[in-house]
A = this chain, B = another copy of it.
Amino acid sequence: MTTDTPMVVDQLNLFIRQAISSWESQNKRINSLLETLTETEWHGATAPGRNSGKYLLGHLIAVNDGMLTLLGVGDRMFAELDEPYVKKAEDAAALNSSIEELKSYWQRLNTELSRHFNAMTADDWFTGHTAVSPEDFAKEPHRNKMNILLSRTIHQGYHLGQLVYLLKKK
């Protein structure tokens, strides 16, 4: 039987902390935009004919909110945002929420997600996410909860790259 040195456990836990920290650093960059941009600027398009800042903010909230169920840690907080901000394109959607409401949702959601992330054990992160069947997970062990965290972190970075176009050019 193979036995590992304690170092392996330390490495694994460090790695998980780094993945959470990568997530949090994307959050912070979006928080910084929330502090900087005016409500009018959030309503503007990130580029001509492209999504508005408001749509992308609602989109990030809706997609990130879905992590609560994918990770199996709780119920959706803002499932009503899926229809306007994920299922529909911006020009077809009724974006009822105000920027102030979205800001508040964003902060509440991130507090909740961080709490869950930090409570999860290494074993938790390596179990299948809730949208993969046990049969498929047995064949594809990378479809675990860590994969959700990594992919959603990159997804935040992707839209952050677009949101920075709302900032005035220097």
Binding site for B on A (CB under 8 A): 1-6, 8-9, 11-12, 14-19, 21-22, 26, 46-50, 122-123, 126, 141-142, 144, 146-147, 150-151, 153-155, 157-162, 165, 169
Contact = CB atoms under 8 A, between A and B. Distances in A.
Nearest to A162: B161
Contacts of A123: 11
Contact of A155 (B49, B157, B162, B169): B157
A11 B161 contact: no
8 contacts: A4-B6, A11-B123, A12-B12, A15-B16, A15-B126, A48-B48, A160-B161, A161-B161
Contact of A161 (B1, B17, B153, B157): B157
A22 B126 contact: no
B15 A9 contact: no
Contacts of A157: 154-155, 157-158, 161
Contact of A165 (B50, B153, B154, B160): B50
A99 to B, nearest CB: 21
